[in-house]
Amino acid sequence: MNRIGVQYAATFFLATMLAFPVALAQSIRPSDLASSQSTAPVLTLVQGDETRTLSLADIETLGLYEAELEHFEGLTGVFTGVRLEAFVEQQGLDGARRLRFIAADDYTVFLRPEVIDERDMLLVTRFGGDPIPRTQLGPLMLVIPDEAEAVLDGEVTPTDWIWALTEIHAQ
């Protein structure tokens, strides 16, 4: 191989090494979005006798993260929110035996805090940078970016991908 050939091969090798993880990983990365200023209530937390409501501004006091993915309900793009693990800890819910997530359509899932720590779950507050209307699976939803591809391939059932999330109960 001549010098140009060697340079070409080296460049090609480097480009491949760099491109592959980017193409394969759908993982959560930090977001540059500014936190929401919206104080309208979007989420109700129930813990023992105590009930409190949180706004997007409250939830987004935690660091924002994002992931680009294709959601099986037909939304494809950048989903932004906070790490569910960080949210659960911030709200003092990590000591609960289990957390019950309830959607506007009464769909419900139960997750143990340990399971939330193991999977990189995102509590989504935005799609394409904007708050998500009720008509578009909002105001909140859970997504698991690491499992997105397996879900689309039909290898994993997305039962924990609750959308139109409105309540969390500590039990």
Among residues 12, 20, 107, 110, the one that binds ligand MTE under rule CB under 6 A: 107
Which of 59, 164 has the CB closer to ligand MTE? 164
Nearer to ligand MTE, 127 or 163 (CB): 163
If we measure between CA atoms, which residue out of 84, 70, 166 comes closest to residue 124?
Answer: 84
Which residue, 6 or 150, has its beta carbon nearer to ligand MTE? 150
Minimum distance of ligand MTE from residue 142's CB (angstroms): 8
Choose one: 15-23, 75-83, 110-118, 156-164; the region binding ligand MTE (CB under 6 A).
156-164
Tokens 């480097």 — which residue?
Answer: 14
Distance in Å, CB of 38 to ligand MTE, minimum: 21
Relative to beta strand 29-30, strand 108-111 is: unpaired
Among 96, 164, 168, 170, the residue binding ligand MTE under the rule CB under 6 A is 164
Runs of H (alpha helix) within 25-165 = 56-59, 84-90, 113-118, 148-152
Among 148, 163, 166, 170, binds ligand MTE (CB under 6 A): 163
* Both structure tokens of 98: 């289990």
Shortest distance in whole angstroms from residue 72 CB to ligand MTE? 6
**Between 113 and 139, CB nearer to ligand MTE:** 139
Is residue 96 within 8 A of residue 51, CB to CB? The reply is no
Q: How far apart are CA 75 and CA 28, in angstroms?
A: 17
- Angle 52-108-25 (CA atoms, 0-180°, nearest 5)? 95
Phi, then psi, of 42 in degrees rounded to 5: -125, -20
DSSP 91: T
- Nearest approach in angstroms of CB 109 to ligand MTE is 8
Q: Among 21-29, 45-53, 87-95, 151-159, which window interacts with ligand MTE (CB under 6 A)?
A: 151-159
